Amino acid sequence: MFKNHLNIAWRTIKKDKLFTFIKTGGFAVGIAACLLIALFIRNEVSYDQHYAKKNQIYRVVFQGEIQGEVMKSTHFQLPFADALQSDFPEIIKAGKVNTIEIFGAGKRGFRLTGKKENTFEENFILADQEAFDILEIQLEQGDPATALTEPKSIVLSKSKAEKYFPNGNALEQTIFLDNDTSTPYTVTGVMEDVPESSHLDFDFLLPIEDTNQSWTNQNYFTYVLVNPNTNIQELEQKMTLIVEKYIIPAQMKRGRSANFIDVLRTAEYKLQPITDIYLKSDLKMQDGLKHGDVKFVWLFAAIAIFVLLLAIINFINLSTAKSANRAKEVGLRKTIGAFRNNLVNQFLTESVIFSVISFVLGIVLAWVLLPTFNEIASKNIEFPWTTWWFAPLMLMAALVVGILAGLYPAFYLSAFRPANVLKGTLSVGSKSGRLRSGLVVFQFTTSVVLIIGTLIIYRQMDFIINKELGYNKERVVVLEGTNILGNKIESFKEQLSSLSQVKNVTSTNYLPIDGGSRNGNTFMVEGQDDGGRGIPAQIWRVDYDYIKTLGIQLEKGRDFSKDFAYDSINSIIINTKMASELGLQDPVGKKLDNNSQVFEVIGVIEDFHFKSLKEDISALSLVIGSDVGAVSVKLEKGDPTEALASIEKVWNRNVPNQALNYSFLEQEFAQMHEDVQRMGKIFNSFALFAILVACLGLFALSAFMVEQRRKEISIRRVLGAPFKNIYQLLTLDFLKLIIISICIAIPIGWYLMSRWLEGFAYRISIGWEIFLTAGLIALGIAIVTISYQSIGAALLKPTKGLRTE
C-alpha cells in the first residue's frame, strides 16, 4: 500500500512540474529562513555557556540613586575585590579586570626581542590571578597558578603565540610594548583562544600592577565565584556593608558632607550572572564589552515562527488550489471502494514527501546562504552537519511539518462526495473561501508589519548617521598606535601641523567613538553643602588643540591655552549637561572636587554625542593631560589622498619601518552603531523572505480562485465580457483582503516599532507617510502577484475552459 502511495505521489509531482516547483520552493524558502534564524538564535544564547562553573560566576554591578535617577556601573575600586573575598565567606574568589584597557587604549606596538619592526595589536586586558582562575582560562603552556603573579608577565592566546613563535616555544620569550625597550615583558603562558561566544574578547593578558588602594578611584570590573547553593539575594544585601566599612570612612576622611554620605548609603550591589552579561545587560554606563540584545532574539524567533507558518499556509493553499484537478480521482477511487482513511493516508504521504523534498532544498539553501548571512551578521556560525542531533531533528521536523501541513488538505480532499464529483460539481465546502481568505489576511498582515519595520529601521539608521553630533567628524583622520612614538609625540604633532593639507592636530585617545579611552569620576561643587549633589561624569585627558580639531563649540569662558600655566594643572572645561546636573547657572570660575583634585572651571562647551545615540548625552569634563594612544588630524578641504601620503612620510621619518595604521573618524562613528545596522540588515533580509513567502500564498489563493471560476470566466467571455471586467472580477476580492491586512497591520506595526524606538535616546517620529508607503508597497506587490493569474485567466480561450463541459 505504501509503495502504491509513493507511485501516485511521484506521478502527481511529474504531472505538474511548475506547481511542484512553486509548492516545494516556497516551503524551502520558509524552511531556509527559519533554519538560519534558529542558528543565529542558538549562537546568541550560547554566550558564556562554556564555563564549567557558570552557575557560580557573577559580575558585580553597582546601583545607586543620584538626584532621583537610578545609575548603574560595573567599575569598582582596586581594593573592592579583596574586601569581598575576605569579608564574605559565601564568596570563594573575587577577581579584577582592568576596564581602561578593555575600553581600548588603541592599538599597541608589539615587538619581539631582536626584531626592529613593531606590529600593532589590540585586545589587551589586565587581570589578577583570581580573575584568571574565576574565568577558567585554560593554559596550553605555562603554570596556571603563577601565570599572572609576577610583574611584567604576559599571557598570549594560542593563535597569537603561533603567529609570533611558530616553533611552538613561546614560554620565557621576551617582548616589548609601545617601543619601550627598557621594559621587557616575559611570556608566562599560552592560553587557549577565548571562545567567540564570550563577552570578554582578548588575546593578551597582563597582570595588574596598580598599587593605588584608594576607595575613590573606580577602574575595575569585579567577578566573583560563589559557593554552590548561595542565596544570592541575601548575599547582595550583606554586600552593602562594604559601603559602611570602607567607602564612607574614606569619603568622610576627605571631608564629605553629611548629605553626601546619606546618598552613599542608598548604594546597592547586584550580582549579575555571567551568562546574562551578553544578552541581558541593562546598564546606563556602557561597559565596552560585546553585547547582544535579547529583544532582537525574541523578535527573530517570532519572525522564524511566522515565516514557517506562512510557508505551511502556502502549502495548504496550494494543495487546495489544485483540488478540482484531484476531485475526479477522489470520486472514482471512492466509487470503486476506497475508504476515506486510504485517501487520507495517500494525501498525507504526498504531503510528507513534499515536506521532505522542501526540507532538503531548504537545508541546502540555508547552507548556501550561510556565508552571506555570516557576513551580514558579523558572525562565524558553522553549519551543524556533524552534530549528532542535526539529521534526526531535521528528519523529525520534516515528518511533523509534513503531517501538520497535510492534515487540512487530506481531510478536505478526501471529503469530496463521489456523486457530486462525477456530476461535475464539488461539495459546498470546496467553494467556501473563508479559511483561505483568513490565511491570506494573516500572511499579508505579517508582511505589512515587516515592511513597516523595515522602513522605520532604515529611517532611524539614516537619522543616526546624519544627525548633528555637536562635533565635526568629517575629514578627521585618526592615527592609531601612536604611543609607539614615546617622547617624540610633540615633535610629530608639530611636523604634521606644518603640512599645508593639515588644519589641526590633537593627541589623545579620548575620542567620541567606540574604542576611545574612558575615565569616570564623581564631581561636587567645592564647599557647597548641596544635599549630596555629587554627580558622575567623564573626565578626559586632552591637549590644547582638542576642541579646535574636533570643532566642538565653546559656549562660555575660554579654551585651554599655553599662555596660562595653571591650565595644565587645575583647569577644567565641562559640557552643558554637567553644568546643569551640578546646578550651576554660571559655572565659569567655580571650583569642582573630583575626590582626588580640585579644578577650576574655565569654560563650558556645548553638549556633543560621545556615546551611542541609544543613550542620552551625559556629563563630561576635559582636562589637560597626557594620553598618546592616538593622534587625530583635521584635514583641509580637498582630496585626502595627497594629505595621507604626506602624513605617512612624516610617520616614516619618526618611526622607520613601522606601518602606519589609520582610520577616519566618520567611519569609526558609523561602526559605533554597527550592531543596530547589522540587526537592521538581518531584519530586512528575513522580512524579504517573509514577503516572498506571502506572495506565494497570494499566488496560491489566486490560482485556487481561477481554478474554481474557470467555467464562469469562459461563459462570461462567450457572452462578450471584456478583459477589463474579468480582470476586475478576479482582483477586487483580493485587493479587499490586502486592504483589510493593511488596516490590521498598521496599529500592530506602530506599537511594535514604537517599543523598539524606545531603546534610542534620540529617535525619529513615526509619521503617517511610513504607513502610507508600506500600504502602497503591499498593494503593489499584491497586484503584481495577482495579475499573473488574473491576466492569464482573462486571456484564456473560452473553448479551453468549456472543453470538458
* Ordered DSSP codes for 386-432: TSTTHHHHHHHHHHHHHHHHHHHHHHHHHT--HHHHHHT---GGGG-
Secondary structure letter of residue 247 according to DSSP: I
pLDDT of 333 over the 80 cut: no
Q: Of the candidates 627, 633, 630, which has an alpha carbon nearest to the alpha carbon of residue 496?
A: 633
Q: Indicate if 490 and 616 belong to the same structural domain.
A: yes
Q: Model confidence at 103, in pLDDT bands (50, 70, 90)?
A: very low
Helix axes 390-414, 294-321, angle to 10 degrees: 40
* Residues 6+ away with beta carbon under 8 Å from 691: 447, 450, 451, 781
Q: Indicate if 37 and 119 belong to the same structural domain.
A: no
Secondary structure letter of residue 485 according to DSSP: G
Residue 204 lies in a domain: yes
Q: Indicate if 35 and 74 belong to the same structural domain.
A: no
Q: Of the candidates 33, 42, 44, which has an alpha carbon nearest to the alpha carbon of residue 366?
A: 33
Is residue 200 within 8 A of residue 81, CB to CB? The reply is: no
**Using one digit for the tens of pLDDT, what is the confidence trace for 568-594?**
888 999 999 999 988 888 899 999 987
Q: Which of 298-302, 546-550, 773-777 has the highest mean pLDDT?
A: 546-550
How far is 552 from 567, CA to CA, in rounded Å? Answer: 18
Q: Model confidence at 378, in pLDDT bands (50, 70, 90)?
A: confident
Cα-Cα-Cα-Cα dihedral sign, residues 788, 794, 797, 798: positive
Model-level pTM?
Answer: 0.79
Residue 222 lies in a domain: yes
Top pLDDT among 734 and 343 is at 734
pLDDT of 800 over the 70 cut: no
Q: Indicate if 534 and 668 belong to the same structural domain.
A: yes
Residue 337 lies in a domain: yes
Q: Model confidence at 558, in pLDDT bands (50, 70, 90)?
A: very high
pLDDT of 100 over the 60 cut: no
Q: Indicate if 244 and 386 belong to the same structural domain.
A: no
Q: Model confidence at 430, in pLDDT bands (50, 70, 90)?
A: very low
pLDDT of 670 over the 60 cut: yes
Q: Of the candidates 278, 303, 247, which has an alpha carbon nearest to the alpha carbon of residue 34?
A: 303
What pLDDT is stored for residue 801 in this prediction? 56
Per the structure, the count of domains in the chain is: 3
CB atoms within 10 A of CB 304: 22
Q: Indicate if 297 and 171 belong to the same structural domain.
A: no
- Beta strand pairing call for 185-191 and 204-207: unpaired
Q: Model confidence at 464, in pLDDT bands (50, 70, 90)?
A: confident
What pLDDT is stored for residue 27 in this prediction? 84
Q: Model confidence at 154, in pLDDT bands (50, 70, 90)?
A: very high
Q: Model confidence at 286, in pLDDT bands (50, 70, 90)?
A: low
Using DSSP's 3-state secondary structure scheme, residue 555 falls into strand
310-324, 484-498, 679-693: segment of lowest average pLDDT: 310-324
Q: Indicate if 547 and 663 belong to the same structural domain.
A: yes
Residue with cell 549528532: 388
What pLDDT is stored for residue 39 in this prediction? 93
What are the Cα distances from residue 403, in Å, to 314, 318, 348, 353, 359?
Answer: 14, 15, 6, 10, 13
Residue 606 lies in a domain: yes
What pLDDT is stored for residue 15 in this prediction? 65
Top pLDDT among 259 and 365 is at 365
Q: What's the whole-number average pLDDT of the chain?
A: 82
Q: Indicate if 598 and 615 belong to the same structural domain.
A: yes
Is residue 359 within 8 A of residue 394, CB to CB? The reply is: yes
What pLDDT is stored for residue 326 in this prediction? 62
How far is 629 from 486, CA to CA, in rounded Å? Answer: 10
**Which residue segment(s) compose the domain that 590 sits in?**
476-672
69-73, 160-164, 420-424: segment of lowest average pLDDT: 420-424
pLDDT of 58 over the 90 cut: yes
- Beta strand pairing call for 185-191 and 268-273: unpaired
Q: Indicate if 77 and 178 belong to the same structural domain.
A: yes
Q: What is the mean pLDDT of residues 260-284?
A: 82
* Main-chain phi, psi angles of 550, to 5 degrees: -90, 0
- 400, 432, 464: which is the final residue of a domain? 432
Q: Model confidence at 638, in pLDDT bands (50, 70, 90)?
A: confident
- 280, 306, 322: which is the final residue of a domain? 280
Top pLDDT among 419 and 381 is at 381
Q: Indicate if 43 and 61 belong to the same structural domain.
A: no
Q: Which long-range contacts (CB under 8 A, 24 or more apart) does 639-648 make?
A: 640/475, 640/477, 640/501, 642/501, 643/477, 643/499, 643/501, 643/502, 644/477, 646/499, 646/501, 646/502, 647/477, 647/479, 647/496, 647/499, 647/502
Give first-to-last CA distance, the chain, whole Å.
34
803: amino acid identity, one letter: R
Residue 513 lies in a domain: yes
What are the Cα distances from residue 560, in Å, to 544, 547, 594, 629, 684?
Answer: 6, 9, 19, 20, 47
Q: Indicate if 101 and 150 belong to the same structural domain.
A: yes
Residue 460 lies in a domain: no
Q: Indicate if 417 and 524 belong to the same structural domain.
A: no
pLDDT of 710 over the 80 cut: no
- 249, 280, 311: which is the final residue of a domain? 280
What pLDDT is stored for residue 423 in this prediction? 57
Question: What Rg value do the Cα atoms of the chain yield, rounded?
Answer: 34
What pLDDT is stored for residue 796 in this prediction? 65
For the chain, give the percent of residues with pLDDT over 90. 31
Q: Model confidence at 529, in pLDDT bands (50, 70, 90)?
A: low
Tell me the three cell numbers of residue 409: 488538505
Residue 332 lies in a domain: yes
Residue 286 lies in a domain: no
Q: Of the candidates 520, 507, 490, 546, which has an alpha carbon nearest to the alpha carbon of residue 627?
A: 507
Tell me the three cell numbers of residue 186: 616575559
How far is 107 from 630, CA to CA, in rounded Å? Answer: 9
**Which strand (E) or helix (H) includes residue 176?**
strand 174-177
Q: What is the mean pLDDT of residues 528-542?
A: 73
